[in-house]
Amino acid sequence: MIEQGPVTARLPFLASLGEAGRLLASTDWAATPLGPVPDWPDELVHAIATCLPSRVPMLLWWSADLVQLYNDAYAGMIGGKHPAAFGQRAAECWAEVWQDLGPLAERVLDGGGATYAEDLCLLLNRFGYEEETYWTFSYSPVHGEDGTALGVFVATTDTTSRVINERRLRVLRALGEISTTEADAGTLMTRAMAVFAGDPQDLPFAVVHEVTGDAAVVLATRGSPAALDLDAVRRVGHGGEAELVGGAAFVQQLEAPAPGRPAVVLTVGLNPHRAFDTGYRTFLELGAARLSTALADADAYRKERRRAEALTELDRAKSEFFANVSHELRTPLTLIAGPAEEALTDAAEPLPAVHRERLGMVLRNADRLRLLVDDLLDFARIEAGRLEPRLRQVDLAALTREIAGSYAPAVERAGLTLRVDCGDAPLPVPVDAGMWEKVVLNLLTNAVKYTFEGSVHVRLTATDGHVELAVADTGIGVPEEELPTLFRRFHRVRGNTGRSHEGAGIGLALVRELAELHGGSVGVSSREGAGSTFRVRLPRTAAVPDEEEPPDAV
């Protein structure tokens, strides 16, 4: 209850002011620079009437002495300073930060107008320790009739939680984004320490240890460890609970990346200007959880890379084996074909017809086998990344016509008709002529091999920025379900019988690789029993850098 008397006579609204009202009534104002209430100027009474009922934190500093009055909302923000702060001089109440605030207040009193500060950091003692706090506030003058400032009106918000939470969230986010590639535990923790450096207030120092038995080996550090307790590190490393060391450091274990790995223990220094409350502890625990995940990721990455390396090595060995075998096959093939050819062309001692026929067969098959071996060798080279197209501008129409022409006898021997449409105009395209020959011959050989009657049609057309080769036949076709895998290496259509059984299933794969080396692509459409059309598309401008052409080669 507020006693009726001279104070309530002056401030009839007092009863509605809650605790602030009771304090206002019970303070002996005569003992303060404000003097007895009945003598207060109207401006003060009006200012109190405006400020104290508000639910927004507000403070009034009155007279040159800056005597304080504030509302209940404000009282809730200043901790242990309340209620002594009520009626106290500002300079006394805020002694620890007055060097920052005093000049701002003075400026307002001296007619400098209102001030504004956002998230100003003040080391404030409101809970028994010097605390890091943040404030957004404005000081504005309360004018007397003559225009002088009689007091200062303070509207303020405590932004401490927001500022601190934001910076802690930044750290957590950055910890989650640490790259775990190419990192062992040490590298990873060093990256984490760099992130910790972004919040030196909450993480003044940090040490990461790897604990095995009695040994604690430092993996990474940041700042100078003021409170390091190796016994605590070992205890935590051996599976103990997280520990608080002398209120100055927090020790916790990171989850071991894999069973059998040494325990990883993180010690972080604590902010001397913040209480180690639930928010702080959660922050550190979440940070440790992120680092545990990063350790596990890095471990998984390492394992994956080791696996990939082993596979690459296996692949390399396989390609090398291919290359070697192909080489070994070429020599005897040359030794078979050479004498056969000599015998066939020997004018001095001509062979009887029956032997000519036999040797002709030997020679043709040796040639076929050599083509196959060459394909294998090319393939091995492509796999090893050793086959690079030597691009030259060539008239692709003429080149294709010539290649198809050279194959015409084989088509005719098979009882098929060959049609070649390459247009009349020259078609300059950057290609490796040798590779293009392989592409065309491979498709033609297949067309003949898998066509028993009808025709083979070779067509070259130019489209928007591309040229397209289509080799169509009226052969056995390809079952629909086989189409998607047709260009895979070693893939052969099951139960598909061509004119001959030989084939390693690399012809089409090679065609695809060669097309792709030119920045091109391949495609097929086919109907079983009706025939197939294989297509190769190449860009008309080099997708791969043109080779430096020696001047005399043009």
Residue numbers of the site for ligand ADP (CB under 6 A)? Answer: 446-447, 450, 473, 475-478, 486, 491-493, 496, 503-509, 532
Q: Is 251 left (phi over 0), alpha (psi -120 to 50) or beta?
A: beta
CB of 368 to ligand ADP, least distance (A): 11
Nearer to ligand ADP, 67 or 443 (CB): 443
Nearer to ligand ADP, 180 or 526 (CB): 526
CB of 450 to ligand ADP, least distance (A): 3
CB of 434 to ligand ADP, least distance (A): 18
Nearer to ligand ADP, 430 or 477 (CB): 477
Nearer to ligand ADP, 389 or 507 (CB): 507
Angle of helix 278-345 relative to helix 353-383, nearest 10 degrees, comes to: 160
What is the DSSP-derived secondary structure letter of residue 553? G
Q: Is 37 helix (H, G, I), strand (E, B) or coil?
A: helix
CB of 447 to ligand ADP, least distance (A): 5
Lookup: tokens for 480? 């629909």
The single-letter code of the amino acid at 423 is G
d(CA 59, CA 82): 13
Q: How many helices (H) and strands (E) does the chain have?
A: 14, 17
CB of 303 to ligand ADP, least distance (A): 36
d(CA 221, CA 268): 10
d(CA 332, CA 370): 10
CB of 460 to ligand ADP, least distance (A): 18
Question: Phi, psi (5° rounding) for residue 458?
Answer: -105, 125
CB of 489 to ligand ADP, least distance (A): 8
CB of 490 to ligand ADP, least distance (A): 8
Nearer to ligand ADP, 298 or 476 (CB): 476
CB of 363 to ligand ADP, least distance (A): 21
Segment 353-361 long-range contacts (CB within 8 Å, at least 24 positions apart): none
Are 419 and 457 in contact by the 8 Å Cβ rule? The answer is: yes
CB of 437 to ligand ADP, least distance (A): 16
Nearer to ligand ADP, 148 or 485 (CB): 485
Nearer to ligand ADP, 137 or 487 (CB): 487
Nearer to ligand ADP, 24 or 471 (CB): 471
d(CA 24, CA 44): 13
d(CA 142, CA 465): 78
Nearer to ligand ADP, 305 or 488 (CB): 488
d(CA 541, CA 546): 9
CB of 332 to ligand ADP, least distance (A): 21
Q: For residue 539, what are the β-bridge partners? A: 466
Lookup: tokens for 304? 């994956």
Q: What is the largest CA-CA distance in the chain?
A: 148
Q: Which of 322, 367, 360 is nearest to 343 (CA)?
A: 360
CB-facing half-sphere around the CA of 332: CA atoms within 13 A: 6
Nearer to ligand ADP, 504 or 544 (CB): 504
Nearer to ligand ADP, 429 or 510 (CB): 510
Q: For residue 497, give Cα distances in angstroms to 314, 410, 478, 493, 532.
A: 33, 19, 11, 9, 15
* Token pair 């206002």: residue: 24
d(CA 494, CA 497): 9
CB of 424 to ligand ADP, least distance (A): 27
d(CA 275, CA 286): 18
Nearer to ligand ADP, 91 or 504 (CB): 504
d(CA 188, CA 372): 51
Q: Which of 140, 159, 162 is nearest to 150 (CA)?
A: 140
Q: For residue 71, give Cα distances in angstroms to 56, 57, 155, 347.
A: 8, 7, 11, 124
Nearer to ligand ADP, 475 or 520 (CB): 475
CB of 491 to ligand ADP, least distance (A): 6
d(CA 190, CA 111): 54
> Cβ–Cβ contacts within 10 Å for residue 34, how many?
19
